[in-house]
């Protein structure tokens, strides 16, 4: 038999390895789409709302609403209402109600590592 | 030779996958000092919970609101040998001196009067402010490994978050990991990202935390804190009363700054310096920052954004 430089077995092994690696990378890749507004109370996970569906939830005096893909605090019992300033939609977007100890973060991989405020 | 080539392809594919696994991160959340904490780590992820616990227990030492804290005992007895409190007081003293005590750590009576953490929605009377001002004229006497206070009570709210970043970063240094610690708006950047890229920190617009006035691209070992008039305040008859009190007037400070973000190699100093700079304003901030080899982004009340020269190429303003 003539000696081939690349055998069929070599090609199959290379394809199989690439396929396995791709599958692993897809499995651990952050899900950029299908984002959620994740609500924490005193640092503990409380609940989350998907941005894909209009909804409202009230957590410890803070009402979070999702409308047309954006999450924002529509009501709060806190005195300063700082938490109501911002509309959240990008991964990493955040709003904090310090008096009520409620934090809302949009999940997924963010283009920022942190926000200083 | 071709077989070796095939093996090389397989090895590099596997290494790429492992790198992708390595560059995924894990975040742990917590709550202390009235604010949200988070620790995001690449590599080892177990230290994240340890850092959260360390910062939560630090609150038990330096918070005035915890009745058994070392700080509460200091305010009760006038003395402490607590290492954290002594370290903080010692390092902040020169900054307080520079501001002629417009910024200082003995303002508990004034902080309590203005009660920005609470439900105050009407400013105190002039008489109330005068009385609290007189009760806030104290002195810290630093000894080798202890300190005493006279004439007032200590409040570490202006430095707690930055100091917590220091404690968290020190704990992380013992682990083979890299990541970012956030305590409210104070941030510690630890190590180098697996990708080799610099850390990207957004400087929030005072009007909207998710709108950025610009981005800082920084290496590990940097700490960032921001002080401004938009984080905690109340409004009364068209005036905003924010949470940073001027120790000279007894009222929320007034300067040409809406916010200032300080970058330096210590969380405690970044927090103390951002508060001091916010109080004294832009011009007086510059020599103070230079003394500490610190850099800053200033958001002025007229809307202009100015940075110290060391941030050229580091801070990219949002167009």
| pLDDT digits 0-9 by tens, A38-93 | 999 999 999 999 999 999 999 999 999 999 999 999 999 988 888 999 999 999 99
Q: How confident is the model at residue A1 (pLDDT cuts 50, 70, 90)?
A: low
**Residue B141 phi, psi dihedral angles, 5° rounding:** -110, 115
CB-based contact A85 B209, cutoff 8 Å:
yes
pLDDT tens digits for B251-261? 999 999 999 99
Chain B nearest-CA distance from A65, in A, is 17
Q: With contacts defined as CB-CB under 8 Å, which chain A residues touch B9? A: 14, 17
Helix (H) / strand (E) element for A104: namely strand A102-106
**Residue A92 phi, psi dihedral angles, 5° rounding:** 95, -15
Q: With contacts defined as CB-CB under 8 Å, which chain B residues touch A73? A: none
pLDDT value at A33 more than 50: no
CB-based contact A117 B16, cutoff 8 Å:
no
Chain A nearest-CA distance from B37, in A, is 7
Residues A91, A42: Cα–Cα separation, whole Å: 21
Closest alpha carbon to B316 in B232, B216, B220, B247:
B216
Handedness of CA B298, B167, B242, A70 (dihedral sign): positive
Helix (H) / strand (E) element for B295: namely strand B295-300
pLDDT tens digits for B237-285? 999 999 999 999 999 999 999 999 999 999 999 999 999 999 999 999 9
Residues B113, B308: Cα–Cα separation, whole Å: 35
Residues A91, A111: Cα–Cα separation, whole Å: 8
What phi-psi label fits residue B238: left (phi over 0), alpha (psi between -120 and 50 degrees) or beta? Answer: left
Tell me which residues of chain B have a pLDDT lower than 50. Answer: 21
Which residues have CB under 8 Å from B154's CB, separation 6+? Answer: B64, B71, B74, B75, B85, B89, B105, B106, B108, B140
Residues B272, B262: Cα–Cα separation, whole Å: 9
From the CB of residue A38, how many other CB atoms can be counted at a distance below 10 Å?
19
Percentage helix, strand, coil, to 5, in chain A? 20, 40, 40
pLDDT attached to residue A21: 72
C-beta separation of B50 from B38 below 8 A = no
Rounded to the nearest 10°, the torsion over CA B172, B173, B178, B180 is: 50
**Residue B314 phi, psi dihedral angles, 5° rounding:** -105, -40
Q: Give the Å distances, CA to CA, from B133 to B77, B151, B240, B246.
A: 21, 11, 20, 10
């Amino acid at each position: 038999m003539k000696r081939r430089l690349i055998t069929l077995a070599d090609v199959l092994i290379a394809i199989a390895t690439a396929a396995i690696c791709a599958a692993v990378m897809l499995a651990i890749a952050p899900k950029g789409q299908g984002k959620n507004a994740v609500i924490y109370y005193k640092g503990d996970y409380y609940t989350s709302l998907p941005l894909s569906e209009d909804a409202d939830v009230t957590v410890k005096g803070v009402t979070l609403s999702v409308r047309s893909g954006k999450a924002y605090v529509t009501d709060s019992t806190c005195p300063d209402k700082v938490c109501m300033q911002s509309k959240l939609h990008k991964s990493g977007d955040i709003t904090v109600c310090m008096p009520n100890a409620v934090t809302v973060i949009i999940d997924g991989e963010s283009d920022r590592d942190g926000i200083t405020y | 030779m071709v077989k070796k080539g095939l093996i090389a392809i397989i090895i590099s594919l596997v290494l790429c996958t492992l790198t992708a696994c390595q560059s995924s991160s894990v975040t742990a959340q917590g709550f202390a000092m009235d604010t949200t904490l988070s620790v995001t780590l690449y590599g080892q992820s177990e230290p994240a919970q340890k850092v959260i616990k360390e910062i939560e227990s630090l609150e038990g030492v330096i918070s005035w609101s915890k009745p058994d804290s070392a700080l509460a005992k200091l305010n009760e007895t006038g003395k402490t040998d607590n290492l954290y409190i002594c370290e903080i007081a010692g390092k902040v003293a020169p900054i307080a001196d520079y501001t002629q005590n417009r910024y200082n750590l003995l303002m508990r009576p004034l902080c309590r009067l203005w009660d920005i953490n609470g439900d105050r929605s009407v400013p105190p009377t002039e008489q109330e402010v005068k009385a609290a001002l007189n009760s806030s004229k104290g002195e810290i006497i630093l000894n080798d490994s202890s300190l005493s206070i006279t004439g007032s009570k200590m409040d570490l709210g202006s430095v707690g978050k930055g100091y917590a970043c220091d404690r968290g970063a020190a704990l992380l240094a013992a682990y083979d990991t890299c990541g970012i610690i956030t305590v409210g708006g104070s941030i510690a950047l630890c190590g180098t990202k697996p990708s080799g890229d610099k850390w990207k920190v957004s400087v929030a617009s005072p009007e909207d935390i998710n709108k950025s006035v610009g981005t800082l691209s920084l290496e590990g070992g940097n700490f960032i804190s921001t002080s401004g008039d938009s984080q905690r305040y109340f409004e009364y008859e068209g005036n905003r009363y924010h949470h940073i009190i001027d120790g000279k007037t007894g009222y929320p400070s007034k300067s040409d700054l809406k916010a200032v973000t300080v970058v330096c190699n210590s969380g405690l100093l970044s927090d103390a310096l951002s508060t001091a700079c916010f109080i004294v304003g832009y011009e007086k901030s510059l020599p103070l920052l230079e003394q500490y080899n610190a850099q800053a982004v200033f958001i002025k009340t007229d809307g202009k954004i100015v940075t110290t020269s060391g941030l050229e190429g580091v801070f990219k303003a949002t167009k």
